[in-house]
Every structure is written in structure tokens, then in C-alpha cells.
Structure 1
Amino acid sequence: MARLGALICLRVAIVVLLPSLLATVSVAHNDTGVHKNYLIIVRKPYEYDQNVYKTVSSWHASLLASVCDTAKEELAADPGAETRLIYSYRNVVNGFCARVTRDEVFEMTKKDWFVKAIPEKTYKLMTTYTPQMIGLTGPAALHGGVWNRSNMGEGMIIGVLDDGIAAGHPSFDAAGMGPPPAKWKGRCDFNSSVCNNKLIGARSFYESARWKWRGIDDPVLPVNETAHGTHTSSTAAGNFVPGANTMGNGIGTAAGMAPRAHLALYQVCFQDKGCDRDDILAAMDDAVDEGVDVLSISLGDDEAGEFAGDPVALGGYTAIMKGVFVSTSAGNNGPNPSTVSNEAPWLLTVAASTTDRKFVATVKLGSGVELDGEALYQPPNFPSTQWPLVGDTGGDGTCSDERLLKKEHVAGKLVVCDQGGNLTGLEKGSFLHKAGAAGMVLIGPEFMGSVVQPKPHILPVAQIVYSSGKKLKAYMKSTKSPTAALIYQGTVFGNPMTPAVAPFSSRGPSKQNQGILKPDITGPGVNIIAGVPGPQGLATPPNPLAAKFDIMSGTSMSAPHLSGIAALIKKAHPKWSPAAIKSAMMTTADTMDRRRKPITDQDGHKADLFGLGAGFVNPTKAMNPGLVYDLSAADYVPYLCGLGYSDHEVNSIIHPSPPVSCKRLPAVDQKDLNYPSITAFLDREPYAVNVSRAVTNVGRGKAVYAAKVEMPRTVSVTVTPDTLKFKKLNQVKKFTVTIRGANGRMKDDVAEGQLKWVSPDNVVRTPIVVSSKKFFKDNTTSDHARH
């Protein structure tokens, strides 16, 4: 078992230790100081004597006891001292989590088994129609058929790390579900009425969090507290729910990406408290043992730092080593550059985009001008009356001071408010409703561009973008008696500028591995309808199922889309590695929107690769990619050595693999990791670099692919050889990409393009980023071509 709450460092601990260990117990310091949670990394190949210690947990307990000053333990003053060992990890890292003082950490540094102690850290959470939009449904001869080929993910197990789940939700009904596969070793802590063949696992990991946050009681059931976990779980693998809708809009049959896959929920986050690093590690430690096929992780840290201390990177490496695919969210700190989270190359890092569905609400001005916005709650038979328009003239424009929203000012009028201030849009609407306002026009911030995130307000509302808000305010200034009507048009499909990269979606380049393009890929993440315990906003939903679904936005919503798609691909291709599945999705991703023009960002400009990654996921093409860039877990080891990690750090990341010495391995530069994208730096003479790659034939037995390069004129790219001839399935071919400045040194800072391997049946697309200088100062190796 990963958790070992019963093992304690008490006054009696010395008594129960074997005589051979008594000499190692330190009693030279006072540990009555402040106890905090630390992740303790143990040296490899330091091993324990299995004749003395029956489990790794008992060994870790002995190591901890060797620095506990049990003679001076003040249990009355510090009840937390009763349980010092919180988690003993088996898979994700060679070490344990414990509550210790700074003095005890100092004592540990004197031990030959000690590598490092990492202080506690908190992470944060970062979803009817998208299966049809991305081509999962329909006959194989048309745009779709993925569900047919994969049997909707039947038999796959998707593990979701999140904040809990609304057990008993219709999305988790077991209708049509077979039993879980025999390999499943997990458990469900709910009773048998809600644990079924769909929701086969539900556990809560809180042993570390409980010491920091009071109010977490024992035992803890993994109940959804905020809707996040239910939303992400139902997006990945929710069952079919006919008639699903959100406030009467978007009516259809809800379904996750892999509706016949099983779900296992690992609660590691708690409302208003975040997600504790050591609980995340414990959940991943158990998940890889319990038989999951895919891990969906919609959480992360904006400043996660090195991979050796990041739980998602640590657990993710162990997962892919055991054949488990890991899909993670890119973060919600866009559009600023270098904000991407979950940067490890063995993780799939997913950005968020819009869909082509809108809940249209039009603001028709008294001048006749119409400004299209959106509204989630659209009152039936709402009159197209021209209402007086007023602004928040007494405040800062955000309608955040309810004392200024008096009845005599707003009753019977449409009130114009800017988003922001110290109130949410829902709170503003509530105050205006109480004051008798006819409705509200809510203007979005400039950075959101063309993206609107409507909410189910309690009064009639239209949410409009910043540019439309400027037109509205200009009209209000142009006349003494401005008026406007709200016209509700319901759910509208077919926005031709879809998909577009969401403004909030975090952008690259990656800080931890700038030679690897991150994010990897983009999926639907704006205004996604999925299951919730109950919607926010409107107190009385218009129909019963509207109380079970809501829209949410974020890379938290895009990551489970890719998790479910990965389960479908793995079902269809059970022998493919996690890297092969990732490559299949990346090299077949779309770069054009519905207009057949390059995908844009929120401002309508062409999206760059640091926002879009390889492109927008196309599951139909990903099922038959032709070629894949494959990697085993071991292939990442020389890459880690090339990043400059110490042997201890590398061995901590790759645990439980045997320890390695970087001096005995050829360091692999970031550019030469066999990744489905290429990033190169022309930052020194001769301003030329060679990039090595290898592709595996997973399509037809015999195939011929020709190289086609598309790059700006400032960069010269040649491929050697420029033709790849395959004679059989699974044959591997190597090639070299030579990148130069067209006239010596690059004139542009960054150039973007692509390499395509083209055959009669497939186009295998590899994004290329070339920069004239490093994005960040680092100490990584850089092997440049000599000519």
C-alpha cells in the first residue's frame, strides 16, 4: 500500500526496531519545532535488506526513525508528531513523504541514503457536441468512424486525477457497460449503488493535505465539491445521456470521448485548497499499479520547476514506462508567452481551442446596429423591447459596488457592465436582478478577443466581446436616450473561424526544455458541455437534465478530450507505446480552420506553434497515421543527461528503473530526442544544425514517402534522405534534417514551418521551430553541424 499512516515515529519506536538499527537512531537534536511535509528522495542504488524489511514501507519507516528524536517528542504540543511517515512510494519516486522539522532534515543530510528533501507544494486545477465536431461519429467512409474502429474504447480504463466526482450522475450510468478487465486491481470507496461497471474506481488521497488544511476529516469520500472532476471525467468517458443540455441550450445526447471506457477517479484536490504534491504522487503511485490505461490530469503548477521535483513529471515517467498514456493540461495563463505547464516530453501537453457552437444573444441598438454576443440562459418569449441603456457611471464601470446599483438608477433598464472588479458576473447579475434591472450587457476584457464564456445568469443578459463593447459605449455617448433590445437566437452552429486557440490557453516556449515544442497539441476547451453536480448561477434550471450539465472552459477541459481519444487509439492499436499514440495525434493534427485557412488565435491572427502546438486533434487521421516517431521510456534517459540533470536526479525521475550513470551514456541534445516536432537554435556559427529523427512504419507493409519542406525563405532546410522506402510493417527508417540560415545568420528571431512525409495514403506532418537565439539561458548541450 502506498499510504502508511499507521507507521509512526513515537516514543516507543526505538523499542520495536531491530537491535542492529538502534545505533543509527539520532537523539542529538530537538524536534519540537514546526513540522512540515517534505518529499524525501533516497539515494539509488541504495537498497534495503529484504531479510530485515519485508516491505519498502518498513524500510522507509526505519530511515525516518533514524532521525526522529523520539526522546524529546512533544506529542501533546504537536499532535501531528504521532504520524510522521505519510506516504511510502513504490513506483513514482525512490523516497517517501514525511512530516519533519528543519533540524531533522539537517540530520538527514548526514545520512548516506539521503539525496534531497523537497518542501511541500500546492498545485491547482487548470468541459454533447464535441464527439461529432472532431469526427468520432459517423460511417468510416465519411468524416468519422473512430468509435466504430475502437468500439468506443470498450475495456479501456481511464484514470482521472481531480477534485472528486458526483457519483450517481447519469454520465456514469453503467448501461451497456461490460465488467472491468481482469487486470483491474483498484477499488471504489462509494457504496455498491454508485460503484458500477462504468465508475469502477473512486478514491481520495489526502494524507499530506490534511496536515496543512483543517476541515479534511477521516475518512474522506471522493465526492465532487466544485464540479471540476465530474466535468473532466464525463468529458473523457461519460456514457450516453439523451436530452442533455445546459439551461435549455445545446440540446443533444451527451457522451464522453470514449463512452465505453471505464473510469477510475483519484481525488487529489479539495475545494479552495488546491492539490498537494505528495497526494498527487501517491495517487499516481497507486494508479499505475491498479491497471489504468490512460491517466487524465487537469492540474499543474505554473512554476513547476525541474522534472525531479514535479509530481506529474515523476509519476508520468513511471506511467509511460508501464505503457500508460498521460494527458495533461497546458495551463490557463495565456496569452502570455512561456506560461505552459506540464512540460516533460513524455507527457502530452494539451492547449485549448474554441468549438463552432455559440449560444447567440444579440444586442440590437436603438440605431439599428446589431452586436452579436452570447447568453447561456435565454428566457423563452423574451420581448424584443427597446430598453433604456445605462452604464455604471458612479463606479469604475464594472458594476462591482452594489451600493451604486440602486433601484432608482437601474430599474427597468439594461445595465452595461465591464467584466472585472471584485464581483463575478453572476454576482453582478444577482444584484441587478434584486434592484429591478431589465437585464445586463456584460462586456468582456480585451485579452479575450473574440471568445465569450457565457454563464447562466438569473436575469436576461448578453455577454459581448471587448470590440463590440467599444461600439456600444460609443453609441451611448452619441445620444441622450440610448436604448437597446436583447434578441435571443438559441444554439447556433457553424462558426467558420473554428477552431481558434483560446486566449487563456498557456503558451510556450517551455522553460524546462526549450528545445522541445510545448504545448504538443490543441483540443476543444471553450464552453464545453459536460456533467456537473449542479450548475452555477440560475437557481431553477428550465428542465431536469439542465441541472446535471453545465459549460466550463479551460485546458482542464481540453486534456480529457485527448485522454479519451488516446483510449480509443490504444483500443484500436493495443501494441502501440504511449509515444506512438502521441505521435499519431500530433503528426495528423489539423492546422486549418473551417475556412481552410490557418487556425487563428483569439484576435484573428494566425496562431503560432507556441499556442497551437502541432495543431487541432483529428482522431480519424490519428487512427491511421502511416508513420510514428516512437520512443521507449529508456530513450528519455540520455535526453535527461543532456539537460544537465545529476545522476541522482535522473535516477529519481526514472525510478523504479535500474540506476544509471550519465558519464556512461551518450548525452542526447533536446533537438535530437525522437519527438514529433523539431526545435532548433541557430545561435552560433556556422549557423547550421543537424537534427536526427527515426520513423516507424505503422501503415501499409510497403510504402514510399517523399519529404516536402515548407519554411520561410530566411531558413534553408534539407532532408537526407529525402525519400523513405518501407518494405514491411514496423520497419524503422532514420533521416537527418539540416537547418541553416538562408544567408548565414537568421534575420528573423523565430521562423516556423513544417516537414511533411507524403505518400499516396498519408501525410505525416512535423512542425518545425527555428530560432536565432535561445529563448532562455541554459546549460544544455548543443551539437552543431560542421560544414
Structure 2
Amino acid sequence: MSLSNHALFLVLYLCASFLRSGLHVDGSEEPKAYIVHVKAPEKVDFDVADRWSDWYSSLLESAATPLGLASEEGDPRSRLIYSYRNVMTGFSARLTPREVEAMSTMDWFLHAYPSRVYRLQTTHTPEFLGLRPRSHGVWNESNMGEGIIIGLVDTGVTPGHPSYNDHGMPPPPAKWKGRCDLKASACNNKLIGARSFINHDGRKRRSTGTPVDQEGHGTHTSSIAAGAFVKRANVNGFAGGVAAGMAPRAHIAAYNVCDENACMGHDMLAAMDAAVDDGVDVLSFSISADPIPFHSDPIAQGTFNAISKGVFISCSAGNEGPDPGSVNNDAPWVLTVGASTTDRVFLASVKLGNGRKLDGESLYRPRSFEPKMLPLVYPGLVTRKDSSYMCVNGSLDGVDVRGKIVLCHLGFMDSVQMSEVVKKAGGAGMIVMGTRSLMGIKQESTLYTNKY
């Protein structure tokens, strides 16, 4: 990156930081994970990760006596969780707020950030971007992303998924230094790397977990980014066709930082640091948390430093909105990608006893239903309780729904949770109705037909 471009990023960074406000400080004295930003050593250029880890360990050790650092093992260095050298000069460690306050007096200390919890968060987009195999445009001009390495910081990958087929793919570029922590047959010229960085509480000496996707989110996002061409793709028999990612000839490197509970900031920073070392060209995040000032956000700072090393950063804008201030990952040096509404539906119709048909959406087709009509019951009219309208837990007590289709209002529970309530009560099926407002577009009386 040129000096002028770097200066521009720095100006944007500083200006945006001063426009943000608010920082939460935890007064608890229980040790927890902190990300500690330190001054870079002068006239020293460590060329291997172990040298950095040794140096950070020595900083912790030097602080042990004045700070009274102790640990379960009696060695203050066991507090160290991760060492960072690419996206930040610093480390993460288990510390108490009082220890952090005392550490701030050390001459090598810059700042300490409590590790935050992050949460996991179309479809004419390819056509809109001109991504067509037989036309002039980005796909043909870039050979569909060939030679590009996309790093996905997410929940890992599903080995053997058809989107990771490497038919016709060249080997990864010579600059690739990453590794695959799956069985040998799982990685190939498409899926070239898979690692796990899960050490949420920092009590382990190293990260745990597996790169195998237990949530499905990472497999979903990586296949959108760079999935191979998959013929006869469909969703429960609907929308059949050929599926492909936005850059189907790019390589995928997966970094698992999330489990079923959360994604932690210090794990994410470690994955980012490793990805830069591995040689990725792009880092993609579909993870976010509520915005905080950039000078207090180590992830935003990490993306800034990754960009200064030539890595492009793409982040999701989050799942909230459309209220003001609901956009996440809003640092001006990253590409923040927002979702939009679609103009396609999975049509399903409900036929009433009077012959009237109501159209809604569903991916379920009840083949087990007999041709005869089933009774329809609306619990809200039976009990007159507000909770009965929404089919929440306990709301169907005293209502005979056995063998019937239950009509439920869309409320604060999602349709899957509501269907479990209906199933437990003996219902044969469920129709969810309601008026929803999404991004300023109002959808009136939309019906969703589900069977558990």
C-alpha cells in the first residue's frame, strides 16, 4: 500500500474514532480474557511466531512481581492465550480489571480491551454484478476468481460438501503457507485450509475445537463466497438449478472461531492474525457485535492493519434494522455488505372449507396428509388469552388441537419454536399469520405453513 493511501486510511480511522463514543468497563474481579495492545519492539523484527510468543510471555513474566500475577499453575505465562503479530502488536491473556489497571503503568503497555462476544449473522446479485459464464464481465475478466485465496472467519466447514469440489481447480498459489487440520482427504485445491481458534475462556494453553462446521453457518457463507459449480441444486425440491459462489474458482481457507454459544473477540483476532500469515487475499466476516468506538475496538483495528498488509476485508452489516445506528462492522476501511429483500417466494396454498385459497410460503409439502379436509382451530378465540394467539409455551393448555391445523400469530417466537408447541399439544399442522415490516416494505397477511 502506498504511503498516501496509508495516510488516507489513518485520517479516516482517526476521524471516525473521534465521532464514536461510549465504552463499557466491567468492575468484576474475576479473571477474564483481555486483548492487550503493546508497543512494538524497536529495531527488532521477529521472523517467526514463536519469537513473538516468547517476547509476550516475557512481558507477562516481567509484570508478575509488581502486579502480583499468579495462576493455577504458578506460572504467570500460563495466563497467555494468543500472541498477535500481523493485525496487532499484542496478546490476549486472562486478567482481572485490577491487574489491567496496574499493567497500564508498564512502559510497553498501550491499551487493554475486554474480549467481546460476537454473533453470527439474494438473489439477483450475481446477475446484477454481471457474473455470467458466457458474457463479458467480472467473471470472465478475473477467470472467476482463479488464484485468489478467500479466508472465512466463521464456524468452519462441512468436509465433503459439493461446493468444495475441486474439479478443474489449480493448486493454491505458492505464497500459501496455511494448513488443513481436517483429515487428509477433506482438503483439496478448492478447500485449501481449515483451522480452529476456539478458546473462549482462555483457560486452555492452546485453542480447542475442530474446523468441522457444527452450525452450518460457515459452510453457508463460504459456499456463497467461493463455492464450486453444483448441478441440480435445490431447496427441498424447489428452485432447482446450478449453484455457484461469487468467485467459484477462488480457493477457500476456513477459520473456525465460533461454537453454539458465541464467537469471542480474542479468538477472532487470532484467526485474523493467522490468516494474514497464511497468505489470504481476502478476509470475510459474517459476524458482528454492537458498534463501539474504533479506538476501543481491537477487531476494527485488526482489520485496519490487515488492509495495510494488502488483505481486502469484507464484513456483514448485521441482521438488525432499519433503525438508525443499526449497521455493524461500519469501519470506513472495510467493505460492509448489507442484505436486501427478494422478489421470489416458495408458494404454498391453504384451501379453506368454503373453497377459498390463501397463498403463503413454505418449504414443506405434507405428503402424508390425506385428501380429506382437517379441522382448523384458532386458540385465541377459545381462551381469549393474548399468549394463545401466538402459540407460546403453555398457551395451548386447555385447547383441543389434536389432529387439527392450528392458526398462530407471528410474535416474539420464531415459527420453529411455535411448531414445537403445536406438535407437543397434538396438532396436525400449523399456519402462522401476521403483518411484518421489513426494511420499510410491509407484507400484509402473509401465511407461512409449516409442519414441525
Match status 1:246 vs 2:235: yes
Paired with 2:176 and 2:149, the residues of 1 have a C-alpha distance of 8
8 Å CA contact retained: 2:71, 2:78: no
Paired with 1:538 and 1:82, the residues of 2 have a C-alpha distance of 54
Unaligned runs of 5+ in 2: 1-28
Match status 1:88 vs 2:83: yes
* Aligned partner letter, 1:60: Y
8 Å CA contact retained: 1:449, 1:466: no
Which residue is equivalent to 1:223? 212
Residues 377-396 of structure 1 correspond to what in structure 2 (within 5 A)?
Answer: 377-380=364-367, 387-393=374-380, 394=383, 395=385, 396=387
User: What do the CA deviations read for 1:730-772 (whole angstroms, capped 9, x no partner)?
Assistant: xxxxxxxxxxxxxxxxxxxxxxxxxxxxxxxxxxxxxxxxxxx
* Partner secondary structure for residue 336 of structure 2: strand
Which residue is equivalent to 2:444? 467
Which residue is equivalent to 2:299? 312
Paired with 2:125 and 2:70, the residues of 1 have a C-alpha distance of 57
Return the offset for 1:57. Answer: 2.9
8 Å CA contact retained: 1:320, 1:326: yes
Residues 156-555 of structure 1 correspond to what in structure 2 (within 5 A)?
Answer: 156-207=148-199, 209-211=200-202, 219-272=208-261, 274-303=262-291, 305-365=292-352, 370-380=357-367, 387-393=374-380, 394=383, 395=385, 396=387, 397-402=389-394, 404=396, 409-421=400-412, 423-433=413-423, 435-444=425-434, 446-448=436-438, 467-468=444-445
Moved more, 283-292 or 123-132: 123-132
Paired with 2:278 and 2:396, the residues of 1 have a C-alpha distance of 57
Paired with 1:392 and 1:328, the residues of 2 have a C-alpha distance of 43
User: What do the CA deviations read for 1:505-550 (whole angstroms, capped 9, x no partner)?
Assistant: xxxxxxxxxxxxxxxxxxxxxxxxxxxxxxxx989xxxxxxxxxxx
Q: Percent identity among equivalent residues?
A: 48
8 Å CA contact retained: 2:121, 2:287: yes
Which residue is equivalent to 1:531? none
* Aligned partner letter, 2:62: S
Give the alignment partner of residue 108 of structure 2, picking from 110, 113, 134.
113
In structure 2, do the counterparts of structure 1 residues 114 and 312 end up closer, same or farther at CA, with 3 Å as the change threshold? closer
Return the offset for 1:163. Answer: 1.4
User: What do the CA deviations read for 1:683-739 (whole angstroms, capped 9, x no partner)?
Assistant: xxxxxxxxxxxxxxxxxxxxxxxxxxxxxxxxxxxxxxxxxxxxxxxxxxxxxxxxx
Return the offset for 1:234. Answer: 0.8
User: What do the CA deviations read for 1:145-184 (whole angstroms, capped 9, x no partner)?
Assistant: 5433322211111100001211221111222211101111
In structure 2, do the counterparts of structure 1 residues 66 and 252 end up closer, same or farther at CA, with 3 Å as the change threshold? same
8 Å CA contact retained: 2:86, 2:305: yes
Paired with 1:445 and 1:74, the residues of 2 have a C-alpha distance of 57
Give the alignment partner of residue 63 of structure 1, picking from 59, 68, 72.
59
Paired with 2:45 and 2:369, the residues of 1 have a C-alpha distance of 75
In structure 2, do the counterparts of structure 1 residues 410 and 450 end up closer, same or farther at CA, with 3 Å as the change threshold? farther
Which residue is equivalent to 2:32? 36
* Aligned partner letter, 1:279: D
Paired with 2:75 and 2:239, the residues of 1 have a C-alpha distance of 50
Q: Paired residues, what number?
A: 417
Paired with 1:220 and 1:187, the residues of 2 have a C-alpha distance of 16
Return the offset for 1:351. Answer: 0.9
Cα RMSD for the two superposed structures:
3.4
Paired with 2:67 and 2:123, the residues of 1 have a C-alpha distance of 62
* Partner secondary structure for residue 416 of structure 1: strand
8 Å CA contact retained: 1:302, 1:331: no
Residues 608-687 of structure 1 correspond to what in structure 2 (within 5 A)?
Answer: none
Q: Name which one, 1 or 2, has greater alpha-carbon Rg.
A: 1
Return the offset for 1:355. Answer: 2.8
Paired with 1:401 and 1:34, the residues of 2 have a C-alpha distance of 36
TM-score by length of 2: 0.81
In structure 2, do the counterparts of structure 1 residues 36 and 191 end up closer, same or farther at CA, with 3 Å as the change threshold? same
Unaligned runs of 5+ in 1: 1-32, 452-464, 473-485, 489-536, 540-787
* Aligned partner letter, 2:186: V
Paired with 1:127 and 1:224, the residues of 2 have a C-alpha distance of 23
Return the offset for 1:73. Answer: 6.1
